[in-house]
Structure 1
């Protein structure tokens, strides 16, 4: 059951409309998660700014989806699992890759994202050393933390709101 309304473009506060229009143009529809986030223009625009910045990080699109899937699994966000399974497949992940990403076993990025989420960032020295040994630089570790942070926002919001899942998208 949806507990916070997913706003239409017309219902959205003025400060959210340009961002929603950009999502409509880029994706061909406005996902319910963003229609819900639109209640707070600062939150919507902040989320999109961080997502855009992370798109320029050293993490590949597939690695960002892997981190999103691992984080969303730990946080129990069915909406984000559906959305990032869709986007992960578009980034080249197989169904098995997606399953392994969710469990944290696909890669060092998946394992680290899952550990960060499970421990709320309280990793042991051994876990950080293992990430380094698996080839993750300090820069990549920070970028995984940022990706986990981005997903935690939408995971928590969707869990709280009961956002209706609209992935995979139908013809809109």
Structure 2
């Protein structure tokens, strides 16, 4: 049995396709390219079509005072780390507060990864920014662009970063399209 994948297309249409349950990402991507009018990444379907469409179009931000106790605890931790009032926590976390367990997991992951380590914070934020640009996430481009600048990214550095992002995206697609085999010298033993 396959999974139904769907995404909105235009105002009144929604595409649905069947993909194999254990199909590769490449198989899914190939199937998606066959369907005309793709305008957004697919989402696994669940619930009624009306519920799914509402979830894809409705922005729900949970303010601190309306949050479940589990979400309030995460708001409080974020606020303590950032030295702000919990009511000033940014919109990403307000959206995540819809699902406190997922919010907790994301905050734990964020704390574990986005701290100084072998990579300094400017480098980490610039990498996050590069991935966000590639994924076309306006919110993440704005928030991690601001953080990268806070950690010292200059306009010149941003320009070079965008040049690398553009070049990498182009050459990645060319290598994938031409199905270029990996050279033996590049393989990790």
Scaled by the length of structure 1, what TM-score is found? 0.57
Aligned-residue Cα RMSD (Å) equals: 3.3
Query: Residue 40 in 1 paired to residue 95 in 2?
Result: no
| 2:73 corresponds to | 18
Q: Which of the two has higher C-alpha Rg?
A: 2
Match 2:143 to one of 54, 63, 83: 83
Whose helix fraction is larger, Structure 1's or Structure 2's? 1
SS at match of 1:39: coil
Instruction: Return the alpha-carbon distance in structure 2 between the equivalents of residues 36 and 25 of structure 1.
Output: 19
Q: Is the 8 A contact 1:70 1:103 kept in 2?
A: no
Instruction: Return the alpha-carbon distance in structure 1 between the equivalents of residues 101 and 112 of structure 2.
Output: 16
Aligned residues: 119
Instruction: Return the alpha-carbon distance in structure 2 between the equivalents of residues 73 and 103 of structure 1.
Output: 11
- Higher relative contact order, structure no. (Cα contacts within 8 Å, ≥ 6 residues apart): 1
Scaled by the length of structure 2, what TM-score is found? 0.53
Instruction: Return the alpha-carbon distance in structure 1 between the equivalents of residues 68 and 90 of structure 2.
Output: 17
Alpha-carbon offset, residue 124 of structure 1: 6.8
Instruction: Return the alpha-carbon distance in structure 2 between the equivalents of residues 87 and 57 of structure 1.
Output: 17
Alpha-carbon offset, residue 9 of structure 1: 0.6
**Gap regions ≥5 residues in structure 1:** 133-172
Q: Is the 8 A contact 1:69 1:102 kept in 2?
A: no
Query: Residue 62 in 1 paired to residue 122 in 2?
Result: yes
Instruction: Return the alpha-carbon distance in structure 2 between the equivalents of residues 65 and 124 of structure 1.
Output: 32
Q: How does 1:121-132 map to 2 (within 5 A)?
A: 125=182, 129=186
